[in-house]
């Protein structure tokens, strides 16, 4: 008697039908129902090709919900975390706890120790104050916020282009 056992036990999935797990089967059926429904509803207005182009972006997230997995996370959990990190996180900035005075004292002690050994020492003067460090950190924060706003504008523009394309297809079909 030969029983095949998957070598990676964590990746084992029990097949319910057609080699699909229960989750994959449910999401497959849901994506077929949604896609088919959209194509049937839109076929009369924008034709088969246009209806398929509209249905694909609606069906893809549903199908990915059943099949996509990354580091043990499902598609919806992964995308939720990705959007959280894109828009929900604030930028972490580092502000030095050492002041310019403490750094200067350290450098003078180091220079004195080097001179005592007879080694020539080259020291650099630290001219940055806490206000300058904060202004640099504030600038990086402003750059991050600006990039965040730009990303949101691009996403809204893409949605507008998709809506305009659908409206154009519908108008074209209505005219002809």
pLDDT tens per residue, range 97-150: 777 777 888 888 888 887 777 655 444 444 455 555 555 556 677 778 888 888
In angstroms, the CA 39 to CA 109 distance is 77
Look up the pTM and report it: 0.44
Q: For position 105, what pLDDT does the model report?
A: 82
Q: For position 121, what pLDDT does the model report?
A: 46
Q: In this prediction, what percent of the chain has a pLDDT beyond 70?
A: 78
In angstroms, the CA 130 to CA 122 distance is 24
Any idea where the domains of the chain sit in the sequence?
13-81
* Long-range contact pairs involving 43-46 (C-beta distance under 8 Å, separation at least 24): 45/170, 45/173, 45/174, 46/166, 46/169, 46/170, 46/173
Contacts of 73 (CB under 8 A, 6+ apart): 81
Give the pLDDT band of residue 162 (cuts 50, 70, 90).
Answer: very high
In angstroms, the CA 54 to CA 38 distance is 8
Sign of the Cα torsion 15, 20, 22, 24 reads: positive
Helical H runs in the chain? 22-67, 75-83, 100-117, 130-175
């Amino acid at each position: 008697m030969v029983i095949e056992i998957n070598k990676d036990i964590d990746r084992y999935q029990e097949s319910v039908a057609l080699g699909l797990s229960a989750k994959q089967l449910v999401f497959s059926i849901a994506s077929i129902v949604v896609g088919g429904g959209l194509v049937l509803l839109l076929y009369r207005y924008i034709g088969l090709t246009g209806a398929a182009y509209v249905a694909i972006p609606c069906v893809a997230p549903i199908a990915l919900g059943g099949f996509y997995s990354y580091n043990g996370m499902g598609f919806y959990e992964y995308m939720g975390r990705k959007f959280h990190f894109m828009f929900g996180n604030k930028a972490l900035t580092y502000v030095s706890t050492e002041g310019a005075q403490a750094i200067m004292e350290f450098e003078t002690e180091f220079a004195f120790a080097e001179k005592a050994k007879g080694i020539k020492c080259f020291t650099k003067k630290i001219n940055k104050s806490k206000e300058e460090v904060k202004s640099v950190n504030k600038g990086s924060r402003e750059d991050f916020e600006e990039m965040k706003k730009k990303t949101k504008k691009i996403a809204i523009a893409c949605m507008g282009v998709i809506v305009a394309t659908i409206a154009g297809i519908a108008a074209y079909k209505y005219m002809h």
